[in-house]
């Protein structure tokens, strides 16, 4: 059975059809898979493991059911859900991986990333990322009341949309928010690995890079996107909502 890779589901109460699609995927294809890897942005926003949302409870229950059925689940934090912690991981019975992480797929070392670390031309975002990944910042943020954290998440989403809108007006959206080729090359060379799988950019494709192969996962805004890896190779396809 193949190993399955997904990312950028951005699950949110405002898009119940995609949450339902994810639930069906877990109950159907994911059962019996060698493993399920979720490479970040499972949620549209995550402000701490005390988040009482129905979507979070649904995901934890369905992932735990999947692992009890025999499919291990591995999660790599994204730019929207970087605060997913051990408490939620235990509820969902999933393993949190570092970003980047190296795994063996059919005997081949493969580098896994969310993908935002590769978008180094987006200087403003990289500065925000560095701030919010700081353990001191996270401790202070998580100490705030839930209502304050939820308000911050809404403000951050609005700021992100404004930032992207400004890039679109300048005609820079495609270039700035995609990966930087030099950073991809340097990352593959640094790890000495010729295969990279990531999400984040919402541009599903298979790229032949100077130092190897880069597979980009698609998002789940209008449909699902799944990468299947087995002894016959890798297949990237979509799932109808």
**Helical (H) or strand (E) element with 112:** strand 108-113
Q: Span 76-105, mean pLDDT?
A: 97
**Helical (H) or strand (E) element with 239:** strand 233-239
Parallel/antiparallel/unpaired status of strands 35-38 and 73-76: parallel
Q: Span 4-13, mean pLDDT?
A: 96
Reported pTM: 0.93
Task: Give the N- to C-terminal CA distance of the chain in Å, as an integer.
Answer: 23
CA 16/CA 13 separation, integer angstroms: 6
Quick check: helix, strand or coil at residue 214? strand
* Helical segments of the chain, H only: 16-27, 54-68, 86-92, 123-132, 135-142, 146-169, 173-177, 181-191
Quick check: helix, strand or coil at residue 93? coil
Could you tell me which residues are annotated as the binding site? Answer: 8, 10, 41, 79-80, 114, 122, 160, 170, 200, 202
Ramachandran region, residue 97 (left: φ > 0; alpha: ψ -120 to 50; beta: rest):
beta
Order of strands across the sheet with 212-216? 101-105, 108-113, 195-198, 212-216, 205-209
Q: Span 117-135, mean pLDDT?
A: 93
pLDDT above 70 covers a percentage of the chain that reads: 93
Per-residue pLDDT for 171 more than 70?
no
| Structure token pair of residue 136 | 């001191």
Q: Span 76-84, mean pLDDT?
A: 96
CATH fold of 3-239: Purple Acid Phosphatase; chain A, domain 2 (3.60.21)
Question: How many C-beta neighbours within 10 Å does residue 72 have?
Answer: 15
Q: Span 129-144, mean pLDDT?
A: 95
Residue 156's pLDDT band (cuts 50, 70, 90): confident
Could you tell me which residues are annotated as the binding site for Mn(2+)? Answer: 8, 10, 41, 79, 114, 200, 202
Measured over the CA atoms of residue 26, residue 108, residue 225 and residue 60, the dihedral's sign is positive
Could you tell me which residues are annotated as the binding site for substrate? Answer: 79-80, 122, 160, 170, 200
Q: Where are the domains of the chain?
A: 3-239
Per-residue pLDDT for 59 more than 90?
yes
pLDDT above 90 covers a percentage of the chain that reads: 81
Quick check: helix, strand or coil at residue 205? strand
Per-residue pLDDT for 87 more than 60?
yes
CA 200/CA 116 separation, integer angstroms: 6
């Amino acid at each position: 059975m193949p190993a399955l890779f997904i990312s950028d589901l951005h699950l949110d109460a405002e898009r119940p059809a995609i949450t339902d699609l994810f639930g069906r995927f877990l109950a159907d294809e994911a059962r019996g898979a060698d493993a399920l890897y979720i490479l970040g942005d499972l949620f549209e926003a995550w402000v701490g493991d005390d988040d009482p949302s129905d979507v979070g409870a649904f995901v934890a229950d369905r992932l735990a059911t999947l692992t009890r059925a025999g499919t291990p689940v591995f999660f790599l934090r994204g730019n929207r859900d970087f605060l997913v912690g051990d408490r939620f991981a235990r509820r969902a019975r999933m393993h949190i991986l570092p970003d980047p992480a190296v795994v063996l797929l059919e005997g081949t070392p493969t580098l896994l990333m969310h993908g935002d670390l590769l978008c180094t031309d987006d200087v403003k975002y990289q500065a925000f990322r560095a701030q919010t990944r700081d353990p001191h910042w996270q401790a202070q943020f998580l100490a705030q009341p839930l209502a304050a954290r939820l308000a911050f998440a809404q403000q951050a989403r609005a700021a992100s949309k404004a930032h992207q809108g400004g890039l679109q007006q300048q005609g820079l959206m495609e270039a700035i928010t995609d990966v930087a080729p030099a950073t991809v090359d340097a990352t593959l060379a640094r790890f000495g690995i010729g295969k990279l799988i990531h999400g984040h950019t919402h541009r599903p494709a298979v790229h032949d890079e100077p130092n190897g192969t880069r597979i980009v996962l698609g998002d789940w805004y209008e449909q699902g996107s799944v990468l299947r890896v087995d002894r016959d190779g890798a297949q990237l396809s979509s799932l109808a909502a």
